[in-house]
Structure 1
Amino acid sequence: MATEVYLVRHGETMFNQLNKVQGWCDSPLTVKGINDLKRTASALSQVHFDNMYSSDLKRAIDTVHLMKNANVVSDIGKIRKLPEFREVFFGTFEGDDINKTWDQVAMAAGIGHEDDVAKIINQVGLRKFREAAKKADPRHLAEDKDELDERMVRAIQVLGDLTKNEQRVLLVSHGDFIKTLAIKYWDQSDGNHDILFPNNGSVTRGILHDNGKFEIVDYNMDANKL
């Protein structure tokens, strides 16, 4: 049985608002973030889900509970937290200014000063961007492409095992992780260059097939398009 997966990006957080790097570190949802999520939750309130899942980071957990509380047609028990669906890890850069971080990554990639992540990826490709992030990180802890790809594959396997008897599930994850899933599993991505970063509270829809194959069929849908 194939499983339909609604991937929701968490709501805006304080670090999003302050333009800080936010991977495995956490910060609370803002008022705007909560209000945006209420619109998404309302749009999904009549969609039946067999289960709901979440990354194990608090901003995702808070988001999934907003989805659960607004849904009137699903009987959801305890939320299962999946660390495999955490945001990309940025190592020593966690909590730093985003523009300064991307400038350091650009220099490590050999393209001079550049604080726009999309432009960096389009110039050097995703693999070199991730390698540059690890190289620029003083402790070299940031996830590179191979490490992240291994975690994504494991995440899909874990989700497949959990949803064998579930037709439709909701899963709250994170912007860069969802974007990287789309680069790998969405046929509209060429797998090398940057694609649009998903909005806070947006929904990306995927299909997890019986044979373990995963494909994304809708990407970055806002509440008014659901």
Structure 2
Amino acid sequence: MYLATEVYLVRHGETMFNQLNKVQGWCDSPLTVKGIDDLKRTADALAQVHFDNMYSSDLKRAIDTVHLMKNANIVSKIGKIKKLPEFREVFFGSFEGDDINETWKQVALAAGIGPVDDVQKIINQIGIYKFREATKEADPRHLAENKQELDERMVRAIDVLHDLTKNEKRVLLVSHGDFIKTLAIKYWEKSDGLHDVPFPDNGSVTRGILHDDGKFEIVDYNVNAENL
């Protein structure tokens, strides 16, 4: 018998690539001192929240983050952390590790709007889904995830999590900013499913409910430690 499962989605802490303004999807870089300090505040805020289990993306910045959450929690008995590649960050293909502003210029040119280097301005002009298509088109190897590929992975991620948590009432899962944002566009009650939502902060918590029939909904989005 399946139970409804409360899911605390935590975005990993700030990384070196975040700090250096580099594209970071499936590529990885270590957490910064600031990133660790911010995560400690989140971990302290969740220290007395009981979790039946904790999970993370299989990228190291997420794994390091989940262990900070696990080590600070004083009311949960968590065993080995299961790593879920389905919850990796959005994949940016050939742009991985490149300067982020130069990357967005190329995406904007592929979208036909000129060399704009501000990602939010691009999304505001063409929408989040055309932005995904333009990113794939601009990628010289066309490896970057487009809307369909990302949507299929999100659905698969929820299905995997549903199977894993069938006897768990509350779990914590560390994922990534763009992936959590895209989940919110699809599953948040305050999103119409078409337009962009704010990017979640490093160390923030997004809370969802995974129902016994496999349906997922986000009920709180991008909550920082002081508001937990």
- TM-score normalised by the shorter chain: which range applies? over 0.9
Listed as ranges, the matches of 1:208-219 within 5 Å are 208-219=210-221
Please state if 1:121 is matched with 2:116: no
2:55 is the counterpart of 1:81: no
User: When the two structures are aligned, how many residues end up with a matched partner?
Assistant: 226
Counterpart for residue 20 of structure 2: 18
Aligned partner of 2:9 in structure 1 is 7
Percent sequence identity over matched residues? 85
Shift of 1:190: 2.2
Corresponding residue for residue 112 of structure 2: 110
- Which SS does the other structure have where 2:104 is aligned? helix
Q: Matches of 2:142 and 2:177 in 1, distance apart?
A: 22
Q: Does 1:100 align with 2:72?
A: no
Deviation at 1:189, TM superposition (A): 1.4
Q: How far did residue 192 of structure 1 move?
A: 2.3
The AA in structure 2 aligned to 1:138 is: P
Amino acid at match of 2:40: K
Whether 1:188 and 2:195 are equivalent positions in the alignment is: no
Match of 2:155 in 1: 153
For residues 162 and 195 of structure 2, the distance between their equivalents in structure 1, rounded to whole angstroms, comes to 28
2-structure distance, mates of 1:181, 1:122: 18
| Cα distance in 2 between the residues matched to 1:109 and 1:189 | 24
Distance in structure 2 (CA, Å) of the matches to 1:46 and 1:22: 32
- Tell me which amino acid in the other structure corresponds to 1:142: A
Q: TM-score, normalised by structure 2?
A: 0.98
Amino acid in structure 2 at the alignment position of 1:71: N
Counterpart in 2 of 1:221?
223
Q: CA RMSD in A?
A: 0.6
Tell me by how many angstroms 1:195 deviates.
1.3
1:113: Cα distance to partner?
1.7
Question: How far is the alpha carbon of 1:193 from its aligned partner?
Answer: 2.2
Q: Contact 1:206–1:214 (CA<8 Å) still a contact in 2?
A: yes
Query: Residue 62 of structure 1 corresponds to which residue in structure 2?
Result: 64
- Give the Å deviation of 1:187: 1.7
CA–CA separation in structure 1 for the residues paired with 2:207 and 2:4: 13
In the alignment, residue 10 of structure 1 is paired with which amino acid? H
Contact 1:202 1:221 in 2 (8 A): yes
Alpha-carbon deviations, 1:160-208, whole Å to 9, x = none? 0000000000000000000000000012112222211000000000000
Q: Distance in 1 between matches of 2:122 and 2:191?
A: 17
Amino acid at match of 2:132: R
Whole-angstrom CA distance in 1 between matches of 2:36 and 2:130: 35
**SS state of the match for residue 170, structure 1?**
strand
Structure 2 residues without counterparts, runs of 5 or longer: none
| Aligned equivalents of 2:147, 2:84: Cα separation in 1 | 20
For residues 120 and 112 of structure 1, the distance between their equivalents in structure 2, rounded to whole angstroms, comes to 10
Amino acid across the alignment from 1:22 = Q
User: 3-state SS of the aligned residue for 2:69?
Assistant: helix
Instruction: State the partner residue of 1:52.
Output: 54
TM-score normalised to the size of structure 1? Answer: 0.99
Paired with 1:207 and 1:119, the residues of 2 have a C-alpha distance of: 32
